[in-house]
Amino acid sequence: MADLNGSTVVAASETIKSHLALGLDFDNREVALDRALALREWFGVAKVGHELYAAAGPSIVAELRDIGYEVFLDAKLHDIPNTVRSAARVLAGYGLAYLNFHTSGGRAMLEAGIEGALDGAQRAGHRAPKLLGVTVLTSDSNVSAFDERLDLAAVAGCDGVVCSALEVATVKARHPKLVTMVPGIRLAGSDTNDQARVATPYDAIRNGADVLVIVRTVHHAADPCAAAEQVFREVTAALD
């Protein structure tokens, strides 16, 4: 990027960051915010999962937005349609970029969740979040349900799906307009932990992944900033 002027470099960096979601899997608000601030240079999206949401409450969404992140609430809603509609309405009112539902909840549940989320965002004056269907957890090596859940997400009106890097090509072939949010990302040599379907940042983006969820491969690294920079460099190279 040496030949680009300053503002172009910033714009390019913002584009790369929009492909990178930092998972803040911490049980403490201060620790999560400290980490979010420290790694702000490399990530455009912050992912709030069950652990942080339970520890910090809904105000964490606004706090992350205030420091410049878009927020993915990894709520993985799964309940009867009426309950999911109501919960999605409340959650989308906090100002989210992404919210997700388990596709295993079925079409009526997904449609209700989408309806509630769009209503909640509009009532609160926020942009509509991208609504994602979780297909098969990346910790599960059995992907036999994948195609059916993918098609269900599409027919119900989801904007995208959560899937591993190994299924992105299938998503893009069957439903090219769906956004792919991809967990199970590991730098080469990093522990896979409980994940069964993993890929490097470079390979995931080359496979066509839209947004990578980055968690333990950075937080558990000896030097999290160096690991984050490595992730960012791989994504930059893969998008080139």
Single residue of 134, 143, 165, 231 touching ligand C5P by CB under 6 A: 134
Q: Is 133 in the site for ligand C5P (CB under 6 A)?
A: no
Residue 226 Cα distances to 35, 192, 218, angstroms: 13, 19, 8
Segment near ligand C5P (CB under 6 A), from 79-87, 110-118, 121-129, 130-138? Answer: 130-138
Among 103, 183, 209, 238, binds ligand C5P (CB under 6 A): 183
Binding to ligand C5P (CB under 6 A) within 28-57 occurs at 49
Residues facing residue 22 across a β-bridge: 46, 214
Of 1 and 28, which has the nearer Cβ to ligand C5P?
Answer: 28
Q: Which is nearer to ligand C5P, 12 or 53 (CB)?
A: 53
Query: Interface with ligand C5P includes 213 (CB under 6 A)?
Result: yes
Known catalytic residue: 47? Answer: no
SS3 letters for 92-116? HCCCCCEEEEEHHHCHHHHHHHHHH
* Cα distance between residue 227 and residue 232, in whole Å: 9
Does residue number 150 form part of the binding site for ligand C5P (CB under 6 A)? no
Question: How far is C-alpha 178 from the geometric centre of its chain's CA atoms?
Answer: 13
In 3D, which of 237, 177, 236, 181 has the Cα closest to residue 210? 181
Whole-number Å distance between alpha carbons of 5 and 10? 9
Q: Which of 17, 47, 76, 172 is catalytic?
A: 76
Closest CA to 214 of 179, 190, 237: 190
Residue closer to ligand C5P by CB (options 105, 184) is 184
Query: Which residues, numbered 158-177, are part of the site for ligand C5P (CB under 6 A)?
Result: 162
Contacts with ligand C5P by CB under 6 A lie at: 23, 25, 49, 74, 134, 137-138, 162, 183-185, 193, 195, 213, 215-217
